């Protein structure tokens, strides 16, 4: 069972994220303000992580300098506040299926940003470089198909959806312009999230305490999200929480997604690496198509499936390129170490031979002197 555990956990993670897309979309369709939702989500995440950080990391709090706190405030603004708010607005404009499909573009967008920041190199004449370019091209094609091509509708799996009453009264089919705008908002949200990943990886090299970095950003984002929500929704009667799907979505995204899935992802990446975990992302797309159709009665169009498939193709193309580059780098490092060891052994043998010749010359000279 130990060998199968990473595979089981990878599937569980994708199920958790599929659930996040479905319950979030259901909450928005029932009238939940997206900005208020993010504020409550960050409150839930902070309530979960802050006590754990106080117990485990209270001795290391003083190591947070003013410069580091300013960085964390800025990163929280980019990665949590801006990215998540934009992502939820785009999901409200489109569908849970499009949101899930677009998540497959994350590694591709991260590669593009790493190239712009000169943290990544593409050798166009190499096979891996060609695969990276092909992955970016497939990703762009998938985004444009999601935005501009609808295609024939596929009937929902369950016409008697779980949230039928609220869905019928509060949701409406988005216009063509709204759908296009939502798709590109989603791409922009992925770009800002990928930028956060790149900046976060550099920050963790400087300050490797993951718990304090995560909790501090959660607290900062809670304050930032509150300001954004107050500006966006001045009617505080709409801030009231009721025991419906909106409350379930807040608890689920705050505790299960931020708490459980983040821990599972860290464990899985430690066991198998980030490439292994990213390879399972398309499974979330499949789960979301089925769950959104079954629970929300969401009408999935052929364009969403084709666009999602192209995004998956771009994802695997980039992952294959990165895997190949890692393998080549590892092989060249091993070959270099082998050459150095052989050179060292050859130098030792040469030295021993020279020492032996010198000893022989000395003994010959001594013998000659004795004979004289």
Q: Is residue 57 part of a domain?
A: yes
The reply to whether 343 falls in a domain is no
Cα 329 versus chain centre, distance = 24
**What are 264-321's pLDDT values in tens digits?**
776 776 677 666 777 787 888 888 888 887 777 777 788 888 888 888 888 888 878 8
Q: Give the three-state DSSP class for 208.
A: coil
- Label each residue of 113-166 as H, E or C: HHHHCCCCCCCCCCHHHHHHHHHHHHHHHHHHHHHHCCCCEECCCCCCCCCHHH
Residue 337 lies in a domain: no
Q: How far, in Å, CA of 360 to CA of 368, rounded?
A: 12
Return all residues near 228 (Cβ < 8 A) that are at least 6 apart: 35, 38, 39, 81, 85
Token code pair at residue 57:
């990391």
**Least-confidence region, from 25-29, 61-65, 81-85, 312-316:** 61-65
In the predicted model, what is the mean pLDDT of residues 31-59? 89
Q: Which residue has the tokens 């490092």?
A: 333
In a domain, 62, yes or no: yes
Both tokens of 28, joined, read: 């928005």
What's residue 367's pLDDT?
Answer: 47
Domain that holds residue 225: 5-130+150-301
**pLDDT tens string 314-360:** 888 887 887 787 788 788 777 777 767 776 676 666 666 666 665 66
Let me know if residue 350 belongs to a domain: no
Is 101 a member of any domain? yes
In this prediction, residue 249 carries a pLDDT of 92
Check residue 71 and give its pLDDT: 92
Range 337-370 burial, b when 16+ CB lie within 10 A, else e:
eeeeeeeeeeeeeeeeeeeeeeeeeeeeeeeeee
Task: Tell me which of 42 and 2 has the higher pLDDT.
Answer: 42
Distance CA 178, CA 182 (A): 6
Residue 141 lies in a domain: no
Q: What's the mean per-residue pLDDT of the chain?
A: 80
Q: Is the pLDDT of residue 124 over 90?
A: no
Written as six digits, the tokens of 210 are 């993951």
Range in 20-29, 85-94, 195-204, 215-224 the model is least confident about: 195-204
- CA gap 324, 276 in Å, rounded: 14
Q: Hey, how many other C-beta atoms are within 10 angstroms of the C-beta on 189?
A: 22
pLDDT for 73 beyond 90: yes
Q: How far is CA 154 from CA 53, 142, 150, 301, in A?
A: 47, 19, 11, 6
Q: What is the pLDDT of residues 127-175, one digit of tens each?
A: 888 888 888 888 888 888 887 887 887 766 555 555 544 444 444 567 7
For the cut 60, the answer to whether the pLDDT of residue 56 exceeds it is: yes
pLDDT value at residue 38? 93
Strands (DSSP E) found in the chain: 153-154, 300-301
Q: What value, to the nearest 5°, has the Cα angle with vertex 207 and ends 205 and 208?
A: 70
Q: Could you give the number of structural domains in the chain?
A: 1
Residue 325 covered by a domain: no
Q: Count Cα atoms within 13 angstroms, Cβ side, for 254.
A: 24
Q: In angstroms, rounded to a whole number, what is the distance separating the alpha carbons of residues 216 and 63?
A: 13
């Amino acid at each position: 069972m130990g060998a199968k555990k990473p595979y089981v956990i990878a599937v569980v993670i994708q199920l958790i994220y599929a659930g996040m897309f479905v319950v979030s979309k259901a909450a928005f369709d029932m009238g939940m303000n997206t900005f208020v939702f993010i504020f409550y989500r960050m409150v839930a995440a902070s309530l979960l992580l802050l006590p754990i950080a106080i117990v485990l990391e209270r001795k290391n709090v003083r190591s947070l300098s003013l410069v580091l706190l300013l960085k964390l405030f800025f990163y929280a603004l980019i990665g949590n506040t801006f990215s998540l708010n934009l992502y939820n607005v785009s999901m409200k404009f489109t569908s849970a299926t499009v949101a899930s499909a677009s998540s497959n573009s994350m590694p591709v967008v991260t590669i593009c940003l790493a190239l712009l920041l000169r943290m990544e190199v593409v050798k166009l004449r190499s096979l891996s470089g060609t695969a990276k370019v092909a992955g970016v091209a497939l990703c762009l094609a998938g985004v444009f198909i999601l935005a501009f091509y609808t295609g024939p509708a596929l009937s929902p799996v369950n016409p008697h959806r779980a949230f039928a009453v609220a869905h019928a009264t509060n949701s409406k089919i988005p216009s063509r312009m709204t759908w296009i705008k939502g798709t590109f908002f989603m791409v922009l949200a992925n770009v800002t999230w990928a930028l956060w990943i790149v900046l976060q990886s550099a920050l963790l090299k400087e300050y490797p305490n993951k718990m304090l970095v995560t909790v501090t950003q959660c607290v900062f984002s809670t304050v930032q999200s509150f300001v954004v929500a107050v500006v966006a929704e001045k009617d505080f009667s709409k801030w009231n929480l009721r025991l419906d799907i909106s409350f379930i979505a807040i608890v689920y995204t705050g505790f299960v997604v931020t708490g459980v899935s983040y821990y599972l992802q860290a464990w899985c990446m430690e066991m198998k690496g980030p490439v292994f975990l990213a390879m399972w992302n398309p499974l979330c797309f499949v789960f979301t198509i089925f769950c959104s159709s079954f629970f929300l009665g969401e009408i999935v169009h052929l364009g969403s499936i084709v666009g999602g498939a192209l995004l998956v193709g771009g994802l695997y193309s980039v992952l294959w390129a990165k895997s190949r580059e890692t393998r080549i780098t590892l092989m060249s490092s091993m070959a270099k170490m082998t050459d150095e060891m052989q050179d060292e052994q050859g130098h030792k043998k040469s030295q021993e031979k020279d020492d032996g010749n010198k000893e022989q010359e000395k003994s010959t000279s001594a013998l000659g002197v004795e004979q004289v």
